[in-house]
């Protein structure tokens, strides 16, 4: 009897999650139809104009899509050397050692810091450095946001990569050592290729996290509704434009913001799906 | 008139757009806005709405420039800065207005509001009045399409960036800037005088003929002492209070609240939080408007 009740409770809990997700999708789709009907799906995502003035009202998502991809991919690029070395440190060189669990918990701590704290840190500590570097006059923009984003996603990229690197079978490595390979050669020729797709999957997940990050980016990117011209320029991401403009929006603007939310949802879902597929491939090896 | 300690007013700081929407849905007793409803918006409301001015504010130009503690600007200069046509602080056009100051060879970073805002409306309304180019290229509105600068959310966001960025300039609600004591520019008014935003210079801007319905912008005022970007801030209520099964007592409470807000006691409270008090002319027009509030045609008496 108890078993049955427990089963029912679990089933019920799982059902609620499914219903909630369906509800979120329904709300996003139903409230974004106005924008998609007005501009068409392709028209909306390929239009770089964002003009809220009633006389010339026109909304397109392109500048925010580009801003999002720009910051997320540059952050991913910046984070690779750090997260890869952390993963090798924990999963290969100091595997199972005390120092490794210490480093691991510090890196996990990074994941627990609220993003507004990262935003403040970027604003007060990193921005002056970016100004001194001469990136631009006020420091805000793609460059600053990407640096802070890179640090935010290091724990996501490194903890999974660590798992995959430490999962590389010992007999493979021992075989290489017995042939006289150095540790560096073992990492280069055995560990990284074997764990390869797992590492790729962890970076895809980290990318998904970077795409949706809102608060820290909103505080650092400059919030300009134009296609960023380069790393030095300011811009807006899909998440940050919603955070900035949702409060006072109504009518077509509100619908357009929700449409951007739906696009972000779809992009993140695809990214997660791809990462899952890649990981499945690893597991089957 | 004394404050009535027995009654509580719940005020939600959700932005004027949200307040107007809630008033339209009859989910609040009144809304408040720094921009009066235009004809189109008035038509969408469920009943005739009247505007009661509660007090006055301004929009100030806050800036951060090391060693520059007094700066003079004109509407044309502000327009050119925000249009991206003046990019350096030592531009000759700024130097001419500030002959006694050494201005640095530094990029100007104009900062604007990323969210829709009555502050942006009044700022752009003023620039539309004084600069034909602004009127043509930018226009006025709660949110605009900006060619230059960076954006931040709310007065605190803009103030934060301006304070922390050498060479930044931003427009901020005067009540916020006066409370924080941010360095702000003196603006050239219509009479040609350079004035600081103070409660007195903001109040002086209302020394013009006001319309009976109080729906007036008072930017670029003719008064020689007036601060040029001054504004009324309004409470919006339905003229006929008998909608949605409301009781006569509820209508009385609203009228009593409005009478308190424009009473000397109420106006004193406004000044304490750096909003400028209304002129006698504005108070008189307000009283006339409050008298028009009725309950299904019945006058509302205490």
B298 beta partners: B295
B53/B65 same-domain check: no
CATH of the domain at B168: 3.40.190.10
User: Looking at chain B from residue 96 to 135, which residues have their Cβ under 8 Å from any Cβ of chain A?
Assistant: 106-107, 109, 114-117
* B223 within some domain: no
* A247 vs B contacts (CB less than 8 Å): 14-15, 17-18, 115-116
Determine, yes or no, domain membership for B187: yes
**Domain identity same for B150 and B236:** no
Select from B106, B116, B139 the Cβ nearest to the Cβ of A249: B116
Contacts of A53 in chain B (CB under 8 A): 139, 141, 143-145
Distances (CA, A) of B134 to A59, A196, B80, B117, B199: 22, 57, 8, 18, 28
Domain enclosing residue B111, as ranges? 58-204
Pick from B156, B200, B172, B179: nearest CA to B272: B179
Q: Which chain A positions have a beta carbon within 8 Å of B115's beta carbon?
A: 244-245, 247-248
* Distance between A2 CA and the closest CA of chain B, angstroms: 48
B194 contact A CB<8A: no
Residues B41 and B81 in one domain: no
Asked if A224 and B115 come within 8 Å (Cβ–Cβ), the reply is no
Can you spell out the DSSP letters for chain A?
-HHHHHHHHHHHHHHHHHHHHHHHHHHHHHHHHHHHHHH-HHHHHT---EE--GGG-EE-SHHHHHHHHHHHHHHHHHHHHHHHHHHHIIIIITTTSHHHHHHHHHHHHHHHS-HHHHHHHIIIIIHHHHHHTTS-SS--SHHHHHHHHHHHHHHHHHHHHHHHHHTS-HHHHHHHHHTT--HHHHIIIIIHHHHHHHHHHHHHHHHHHHHH--HHHHHHSB--SS---STTS-B--HHHHHHHHTTT--HHHHHHHHHHHHHHHHHHHHHHHHHHHHHHHHHH-
Residue B20 lies in a domain: yes
pTM of the predicted model, to two decimals?
Answer: 0.89
Minimal Cα distance from A233: which residue of B?
A: B150
**b/e map A221-249, b = 16+ CB within 10 Å:** bbbbbbbbeeeebbbbbbbbbbbbbeebb
Q: Report if residue B215 sits inside a domain.
A: no
Q: Which of A127, A140, A245 is closest, CB to CB, to B116?
A: A245
- Nearest CA distance, B272 vs chain A (angstrom): 28
* In a domain? residue B190: yes
ipTM: 0.86
Q: Are B66 and B165 members of one domain?
A: yes
CA distance B176 to chain A (A): 20
Same domain, B31 and B106: no
Confidence of residue A40 (pLDDT cuts 50, 70, 90): very high
Per-residue pLDDT of chain B (302 residues; tens, 9 = 90+): 777 888 899 988 887 878 888 999 999 999 999 989 988 889 999 999 999 999 999 999 999 999 998 999 999 999 999 999 999 999 999 999 999 999 999 999 999 999 988 899 999 999 999 999 999 999 999 999 999 999 999 999 999 999 999 999 999 999 999 999 899 999 999 999 999 999 999 999 999 999 999 999 999 999 999 999 999 999 999 999 998 888 999 999 999 999 999 999 999 999 999 999 999 999 999 999 999 999 988 888 77
Total domains in the fold of chain B? 2
Q: What angle do CA A187, A191, A194 make, to 5 degrees?
A: 145
Q: What pLDDT is stored for residue A54 in this prediction? A: 85
């Amino acid at each position: 009897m108890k078993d049955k009740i427990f089963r029912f409770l679990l089933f019920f809990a799982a059902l609620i999650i499914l219903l909630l997700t369906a509800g979120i999708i329904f709300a996003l789709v139903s409230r974004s139809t106005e924008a998609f009907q007005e501009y068409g799906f392709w028209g909306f995502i390929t239009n770089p104009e964002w003009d809220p003035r009633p006389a010339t009202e026109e909304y397109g998502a392109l500048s925010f899509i580009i801003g999002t991809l720009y910051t997320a991919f540059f952050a991913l690029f910046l984070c690779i050397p750090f997260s890869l070395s952390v993963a090798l440190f924990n999963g290969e060189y100091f595997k199972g050692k005390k120092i490794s669990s210490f480093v691991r918990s510090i890196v996990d701590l990074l994941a627990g810091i609220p993003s507004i704290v990262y935003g403040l840190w970027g604003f007060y500590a990193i921005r002056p450095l970016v100004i001194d570097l001469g990136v631009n006059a006020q420091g805000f923009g793609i460059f600053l946001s990407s640096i802070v984003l890179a640090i935010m996603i290091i724990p996501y990229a490194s903890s999974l990569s660590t798992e995959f690197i430490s999962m590389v079978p010992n007999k493979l490595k021992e075989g290489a050592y017995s042939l006289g390979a150095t540790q560096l050669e073992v990492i280069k020729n055995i560990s990284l290729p074997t764990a390869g797709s797992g590492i790729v999957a962890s970076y895809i997940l980290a990318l998904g996290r970077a795409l949706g990050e809102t608060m820290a980016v909103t505080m650092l990117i400059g919030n300009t509704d134009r296609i960023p011209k380069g790393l030095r320029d300011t811009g807006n991401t899909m998440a940050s434009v919603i955070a900035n403009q949702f409060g006072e929006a109504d009518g077509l603007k509100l619908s357009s913001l929700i449409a951007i939310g739906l696009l972000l949802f779809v992009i993140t879902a695809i990214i997660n799906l791809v990462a899952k597929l890649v990981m499945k491939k690893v597991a089957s090896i | 008139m004394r404050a009535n300690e027995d009654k509580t007013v719940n005020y939600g700081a959700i932005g004027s757009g949200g307040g107007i929407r809630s008033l339209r849905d009859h989910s609040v007793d009144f809304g408040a806005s720094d921009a009066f409803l235009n004809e189109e918006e008035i038509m969408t409301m469920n009943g005739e709405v009247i505007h009661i001015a509660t007090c006055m504010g301004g929009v100030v130009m806050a800036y951060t420039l090391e060693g520059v503690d007094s700066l003079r600007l004109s509407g044309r200069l502000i327009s050119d800065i925000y249009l991206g046509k003046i990019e350096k602080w030592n531009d000759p056009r700024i130097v001419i207005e500030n002959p006694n100051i050494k201005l640095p060879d530094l990029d100007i970073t104009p900062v604007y509001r990323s969210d829709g805002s009555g502050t942006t409306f009044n700022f752009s309304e003023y620039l539309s009045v004084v600069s034909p180019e602004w009127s043509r290229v930018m226009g006025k509105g709660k949110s605009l399409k900006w060619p230059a600068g960076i954006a931040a959310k709310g007065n605190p966001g803009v103030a934060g960036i301006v304070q922390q960025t050498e060479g930044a300039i931003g427009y901020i609600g005067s009540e916020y800037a006066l409370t924080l004591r941010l360095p702000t520019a003196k603006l050239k008014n219509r009479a040609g005088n350079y004035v600081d935003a103070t409660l007195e210079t903001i109040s002086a801007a209302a020394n013009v003929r006001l319309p009976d319905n109080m729906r007036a912008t008072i930017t670029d005022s003719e008064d020689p002492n007036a601060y040029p970007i001054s504004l009324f801030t309004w409470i919006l209520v339905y003229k006929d209070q008998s909608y949605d099964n409301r009781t006569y007592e509820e209508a009385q409470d609203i009228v009593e609240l409005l009478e308190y807000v424009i009473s000397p006691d109420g106006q004193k409270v406004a000044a304490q939080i750096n909003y400028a008090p209304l002129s006698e002319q504005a108070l008189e027009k307000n009283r006339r408007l409050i008298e028009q509030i009725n309950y299904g045609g019945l006058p509302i008496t205490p």
